[in-house]
Amino acid sequence: MLTILPAIDIKTLYLPESIPYCENFESYGNNSIPEKWYSLSTTTNSSYANFKVSTSESHTTNKSLRYECRSNNQLLSILPQIGEDSINGLSISLYLKTTNDYGYMEFGYMENPHDFGSFVPVKRLTNTNSEWQRFIISMQDAPTDVRYMAIRAVSTSSSRYYAYIDDIYITNCGANSFEVLNISSNSVTFDWIQIGNPTITIEYGS
């Protein structure tokens, strides 16, 4: 007896990444695609929309993730599933550098990770000064049934648009960039970027 099984999408076979999730792309070869990442685009011609690990630019050490788009095409790079449950409540820190203004980048989530049109932008990553810039994105308002985040590169010209992403760090919402400042014999200043509405407790004693 012959049994015909339904097609299996191999992307669903990957186990979710644990939290916190860190990625600096150093473990991958030049021109490779990071493990568990995949892409959707508005063109079948990869020379018009692609992403891959690159040694051309890096925020730290030697590599980053390079995005290339042109001729008004768009590219979505879908991140691995982070955690067992919804992305709701996660906080994302990343660094971006662009080398021209022929497009822009957006960070958001996928209501359906296999449908380009289901991408929902959460934050536009504006960077036009050719310097590395840090962005922090909160998924506090993401639907509770969504499990995939994505980065969208959008070309607005026939010329090539290049952007680089590096040092991605994903954790639960709370305090980011915590710093201790102005320490004296009887006082200290704490500074942080608050994401969401967490309860933050600072304990002290002698």
Query: Greatest CA span in the chain, whole angstroms?
Result: 82
What's the CA gap between 62 and 139, in Å, rounded? 29
Average pLDDT over residues 185-196: 66
What's the CA gap between 135 and 199, in Å, rounded? 23
**Per-residue pLDDT tens over the stretch 151-172:** 999 999 999 999 999 999 998 8
> Taking CA 136 as the corner, what is the angle to CA 58 and CA 63, rounded to the nearest 5 degrees?
15
What's the CA gap between 118 and 116, in Å, rounded? 6
Q: Which of 87, 129, 78, 125 is nearest to 106 (CA)?
A: 125
| pLDDT for res 106 | 98
β strands within the chain, DSSP E:
21-23, 38-41, 49-54, 64-69, 74-78, 90-98, 103-110, 119-125, 133-138, 148-155, 161-172, 175-181, 189-194
Whether the predicted pLDDT of 127 surpasses 90:
no
pLDDT band with cut points at 50, 70 and 90 for residue 128: confident
Half-sphere exposure of 104 (CA within 13 A, CB side): 9
Q: Which residue matches tokens 């007896």?
A: 1
pLDDT band with cut points at 50, 70 and 90 for residue 5: very low
Average pLDDT, rounded, for the chain: 86
Q: Which residue has the higher pLDDT, 127 or 193?
A: 127
**Per-residue pLDDT tens over the stretch 176-190:** 555 666 666 677 776
| pLDDT for res 9 | 43
| pLDDT for res 22 | 93
What's the CA gap between 176 and 49, in Å, rounded? 33
**Per-residue pLDDT tens over the stretch 18-75:** 999 999 999 999 999 999 999 999 999 999 999 999 999 999 899 999 999 999 999 9
Whether the predicted pLDDT of 196 surpasses 60:
no
Whether the predicted pLDDT of 148 surpasses 50:
yes
pLDDT band with cut points at 50, 70 and 90 for residue 3: very low
| pLDDT for res 189 | 76
Whether the predicted pLDDT of 115 surpasses 60:
yes
